[in-house]
A = this chain, B = another copy of it.
Amino acid sequence: MADKIIFNRVAIAGVGLIGGSLALAGKRAGVFGKVIGLGRGKENLATALRLGVVDEVTSDMAEAARGADLFFVATPVESIAPMILKAAPFLPRGCVITDGGSVKQSIVRRVEAELPEGLFFAAGHPVAGTEKTGAQAAFADLYKDRFTILTPTPKTSAQALEKVRAMWAATGSKVVIMTPEEHDEAMAVISHLPHLVAFALMDAVAACDPDGKRRAFSAGGLRDTTRIAGSDPVMWRDIFSMNQSLLLQSLTRFQDSLDGLRMSVESGDFGALQASLERISRARRELD
């Protein structure tokens, strides 16, 4: 298996679902040598070690960084750039750095502006996840058949990008390349907007049904539509904050759509309403 190895010593900051699953998938594929888990939560690190998610654990940045040829940051999205810049003085020259953040422009901009020479950042976003968190949620198949988006810029080292691409491909993921802008525009529409809308819908339902009696009669529709409103509030605060302007653009588009449907209902123009619903329903059925 030794000839498959892409990274000999992998430091993973944040050994939760994303970081832990990459550790497991990379080890299983034989592309990682030793994997060191870096984190602050002693209990989570102990779990990661006990379950064999990583080979070693530490809360000490210098210790994790020492000798690493890959530094993967899977911490909350707001702390990714600060974490990379904090680790940089400890990382050996030639080290490849990548991340799992679901917003890319702001991270790439800051890291490229401040990263010292001799370290190579190739940003990424594995589009995968479950509601579960922590090392005990990690599993080697998380990335199988899912997309991973890499977002190089003209400053990105082609060699670093290729290594990161090969690593994600080894997990079974489908790797796609786009610019950080394209990534954030796409995510604003297909992920961040649906989350904001689901949060608003759940808020309205709770407000219209303070004692929960009406919700007792809900069928699958309400549950499906609001499922992602149960997501982690701090994580989504950060994502909304970091992709603010593109999110607001897609939100404006949503409000236009809603206003259009509202106007048809309000004015009793049910012919126009039917035409809209037919177009939309067709688009949704094409998504399956």
A204 touches B (CB below 8 Å): yes
Question: What sequence of 0s and 1s flags, for each residue 263-288 of chain A, a beta carbon within 8 Å of any chain B beta carbon?
Answer: 00110101001101111110111111
A83 touches B (CB below 8 Å): no
This chain: how many copies in the complex? 2
Which residues of B sit under 8 angstroms from A287, Cβ to Cβ? Answer: 202, 215, 218, 222-223, 226, 230
Which residues of B sit under 8 angstroms from A266, Cβ to Cβ? Answer: 244, 248
Name the segment of A6-14, A46-54, A60-68, A188-196 touching the other chain.
Answer: A188-196
Question: How far is the CB of A137 from the nearest CB of chain B, in Å?
Answer: 16
A169 touches B (CB below 8 Å): no
Which residues of B sit under 8 angstroms from A147, Cβ to Cβ? Answer: 216-217
Which residues of B sit under 8 angstroms from A199, Cβ to Cβ? Answer: 261, 276-277, 280-281
A206 touches B (CB below 8 Å): yes
Is the CB–CB distance between A230 and B281 below 8 Å? Answer: yes
A203 touches B (CB below 8 Å): yes
Which residues of B sit under 8 angstroms from A98, Cβ to Cβ? Answer: none
A140 touches B (CB below 8 Å): no
Is the CB–CB distance between A253 and B197 below 8 Å? Answer: no
Which residues of B sit under 8 angstroms from A227, Cβ to Cβ? Answer: 221, 224-225, 284
A231 touches B (CB below 8 Å): yes
A244 to B194, CA, bound (A): 25
Question: How far is the CB of A285 from the nearest CB of chain B, in Å?
Answer: 5
Which residues of B sit under 8 angstroms from A2, Cβ to Cβ? Answer: none
Is the CB–CB distance between B205 and A201 below 8 Å? Answer: no
Is the CB–CB distance between A194 and B222 below 8 Å? Answer: yes
A89 touches B (CB below 8 Å): no
Instruction: Kindly list the 5 A-B residue pairs having the minimum CB-CB distance in the complex, ordered from nearest.
Output: A233-B277, A230-B284, A203-B257, A204-B254, A200-B258
Interface residues in chain A, defined as those with a beta carbon under 8 Å from any beta carbon in chain B? 127-129, 146-147, 149, 176, 185-187, 189-191, 193-209, 212-219, 221-234, 236-237, 240-241, 244, 247-248, 250-251, 253-258, 260-262, 265-266, 268, 270, 273-274, 276-281, 283-288
In the complex, 27 of the A-B residue pairs with CB atoms within 8 angstroms, ordered by the A residue number, are: A127-B217, A129-B219, A187-B217, A189-B204, A190-B217, A194-B225, A196-B258, A196-B265, A197-B197, A197-B225, A200-B261, A201-B254, A201-B257, A203-B283, A204-B253, A208-B253, A218-B287, A224-B224, A225-B225, A229-B283, A232-B281, A233-B278, A233-B280, A237-B273, A240-B270, A240-B273, A247-B265
